[in-house]
Amino acid sequence: MFKIRIATFFCLVLVSCVITSAQDSDKPLPSWKASPARTAILDFVACAINPDCGSFIPPAERIAVFDNDGTLWCEQPIYIQFAFAIDRVVALAPQHPEWKTEQPFAAALNKDLKAVAASGEKGLLQLLAATHAGMTTEEFDQTVKEWFKTAKHPLYKRPYTELVYLPMVELLEYLRDNGFKTYIVSGGGIEFMRAVTEEIYGIPPEQVIGSSGKLKYELKDDKPVLMRLAEIDFNDDNAGKPVAIQKFIGRRPVLAFGNSDGDYEMLRWVTAGKGPRLGLIVHHTDAVREVAYDRDSPIGRLDRALTEAPDRGWQVVDMKRDWSAVFK
């Protein structure tokens, strides 16, 4: 009898653990720890979808915008798109022997990231022009997709497509499950991001807004194509983000998520609108699972937005404290 009771006890404990585990997996945002930011998100969404709540948001107005670099995927020690550009320089070098002595191409060939960064905006634009232009939009899309199949992060030794933030992917899915339309609004290249955003975030190309180069309609072998030119058309960063949102979405979003001062104007513009609004910032504080950086970082600098966040009611997500997992 005693043995039967012991066995029954352990069975009940096991069943209880299984039920608890299943219940936990059903909770929204499972990789988010209890925190003011998580509570703010859940409360915002709960009221937005409740017609009886004073902060109800009609479905057509449930628009959320997200920066990409440093907000949805990693951006250290160099933006992923620039890693692509450097690899493209290496691949194209046999056709350009002059690059061995010309900067910033020589630095790119030597994988000298500091020297590439030291070339400044002018140098980076040279790299982008040389590696992103002179092909059709379809050819560029295929080139990017092929690169992502084999390219790996220099520190984590994992494919870049795996270095997306799991808590943010959960948030994107949670918002969409509750009738929100999710957009990317990033300083990164629009065509570069569009090659993979649907696969890794569930965000289709038409909901991706980014910096863009000029395109030209041409006939190639008597077939109409769009050729990529070595000229900047629009820089979707800083004050350019609100402009792009209005131009391409046509509605002021109700939720904005960023991670740097490049998102400051977007956060201000979104949260200044009438009705319920939510602004959030990813603060990179985890030096163990990722990289800790903010005010003094040359990449993803977060200074002004971090200082003003409390007064503007923006939630700051502490990566080390608020996330139980970082990457997928």
Q: Are 187 and 236 in contact (CB under 8 A)?
A: yes
* Per-residue confidence (pLDDT) for residue 21, from 0 to 100: 40
3-class secondary structure, 262: helix
pTM above 0.85, yes or no: yes
Model confidence at 5: pLDDT above 70? no
- Give 183-209 as a DSSP string: EEEEEEEHHHHHTTHHHHHS--GGGEE
- Return d(Cα 110, Cα 117) in angstroms, integer: 13
* Per-residue confidence (pLDDT) for residue 15, from 0 to 100: 40
| Of the options 3.40.50.1000, 3.40.50.720, 3.30.70.3400, 3.20.20.140, the CATH number for the domain spanning 30-77+157-322 | 3.40.50.1000
User: Could you report the per-residue pLDDT of 10-29, keeping only the tens digit for each?
Assistant: 444 444 444 444 344 579 99
Please report which confidence band the pLDDT of residue 115 belongs to, taking 50, 70 and 90 as the band edges: confident
Structure-block tokens of residue 113: 């990231």
The mean pLDDT of the chain is 92
Q: What percent of the chain has pLDDT over 70?
A: 92
Of 317, 320, 326, 319, which Cα lies nearest the Cα of 40?
317
Please report which confidence band the pLDDT of residue 64 belongs to, taking 50, 70 and 90 as the band edges: very high
Please report which confidence band the pLDDT of residue 157 belongs to, taking 50, 70 and 90 as the band edges: very high
* Per-residue confidence (pLDDT) for residue 11, from 0 to 100: 42
Please report which confidence band the pLDDT of residue 122 belongs to, taking 50, 70 and 90 as the band edges: confident
- How many angstroms separate the first and last alpha carbons of the chain? 48
Model confidence at 192: pLDDT above 50? yes
Please report which confidence band the pLDDT of residue 4 belongs to, taking 50, 70 and 90 as the band edges: very low
Please report which confidence band the pLDDT of residue 124 belongs to, taking 50, 70 and 90 as the band edges: confident
Q: What percent of the chain has pLDDT over 90?
A: 84
Q: Are 312 and 271 in contact (CB under 8 A)?
A: yes
Please report which confidence band the pLDDT of residue 125 belongs to, taking 50, 70 and 90 as the band edges: confident
Categorise residue 317: left if φ over 0, alpha if ψ from -120 to 50, beta otherwise.
Answer: beta
* Per-residue confidence (pLDDT) for residue 35, from 0 to 100: 97
Mean pLDDT of 94-101: 94
Please report which confidence band the pLDDT of residue 183 belongs to, taking 50, 70 and 90 as the band edges: very high
User: Could you report the per-residue pLDDT of 249-308, keeping only the tens digit for each?
Assistant: 999 999 999 999 999 999 999 999 999 999 999 999 999 999 999 999 999 999 999 999
Model confidence at 113: pLDDT above 90? no
Model confidence at 233: pLDDT above 50? yes
Model confidence at 238: pLDDT above 50? yes
